[in-house]
Amino acid sequence: MPQELSSEQIENILQGIKIPPQPQILVDLQMEQAMPDPDIARIAALISQDVGLSGTILKVINSPFYGLRNRITSVHQAVMLIGLNSVVNIINGLSIKSEMSDDTIVNMNRFWDTANDIAQVSTVIAKQVGYPHPDMAYLLGLFHNCGIPLLMTRFEDYPQVMEESYAHPELRVVDVENQRLNTNHAVIGYYTAKSWNLPRLLCNVIAEHHSATRYFTSSHQQDSEAKTLLAILKLAEHICGNYRILGNQPQDPEWQMIQAEVLTYLGLGEYDLEQMEANFAESGIGVQNYRL
């Protein structure tokens, strides 16, 4: 039987957690908790759709309190190991901390929408190209932009800065952010992921996810798991229309610079890309479903 966390331990866990959960996810979780026989698998599935909740649960299970020999990367497995009562208490603690204004929720919706879609698409791509750890691809898709909501809470004009970053024809997104803010969401995301005890591989790819041109050029021939994850992520970002939803731009210059190399590296062609875009569009995911 899972060992339950004390109120003090939960309070310590929640220290430093600043990414608010999605309001609708909290409502769905509260409704499930109120059921006569709450479905822990349903609760795990809901948690896995949210960046803040997933990060917190993984931080808990990979903490010294549990002393596990192997790092857990599956939210579902983490929820099962922590147990229903402790998970519910953690969620309720985050609910108290997550009061947001309407304006904040509107800006956060752009982040939440892309995070969940990119995580799902990354998983499908990983399976299609034969990457053996689709759960890692899911976590990368979910967490890669986790620095964005933190910068939103720190800088009122961050949504405008983000749009300027995506619009610049030459500089990387993170270069523009560095010029305007003296930091960027990839660096903040790296340290956030590290504080959540995510695998080092994921932390490193999060730090590099706007430096893909460095990996996909003729001079960079070395294959690695990090490069594979980065390729999966960049393809998923493009399919999901990240440049439109977050960047509010009609074109995706970052993808245009690496498209041919990424597809070749993954063993895909233009036809495969078109089929993926069409299949995901039928599920409501992609640029076809978002208008500037």
- Apex CA 53: angle with CA 99 and CA 193, to 5°? 110
The region of weakest confidence among 99-103, 170-174, 178-182 is 99-103
Q: How crowded is the C-beta side of 139, counted as CA atoms within 13 Å?
A: 26
CA 184/CA 203 separation, integer angstroms: 15
Kindly tell me if the per-residue pLDDT of 239 is higher than 50: yes
Tokens matching residue 244: 């439109």
Average pLDDT, stretch 197-213?
92
3-state helix, strand, coil in the chain (%, to 5): 70, 0, 30
94 pLDDT higher than 50: yes
- Which residues of the chain form CATH 1.10.3210.10? 102-289
Q: Is pLDDT at 92 greater than 80 in this prediction?
A: no
**How far from 159 is each of 103, 117, 141, CA to CA, in Å?**
11, 20, 20
Q: Residues 6 or more apart from 62 whose CB is under 8 A from it?
A: 68, 71, 72, 197
Q: Hey, what CATH topology would domain 102-289 get? A: Hypothetical protein af1432 (1.10.3210)
Query: Does 199 score more than 80 pLDDT?
Result: yes
Written as one string, the DSSP assignment of 103-153 is HHHHHHHHHHHHHHHHHHHHHHHHHHHT-S-HHHHHHHHHHTTTHHHHHHH
Say yes or no to pLDDT of 103 above 80: no
User: Residue 260 carries which side chain, given as an amino acid letter?
Assistant: A
- How high is the pLDDT of residue 141? 94
| Residue listed under structure tokens 């060992």 | 3
The pLDDT assigned to 1 comes to: 43
Q: What is the dihedral of CA 260, 261, 262, 264, to 10 degrees?
A: 80
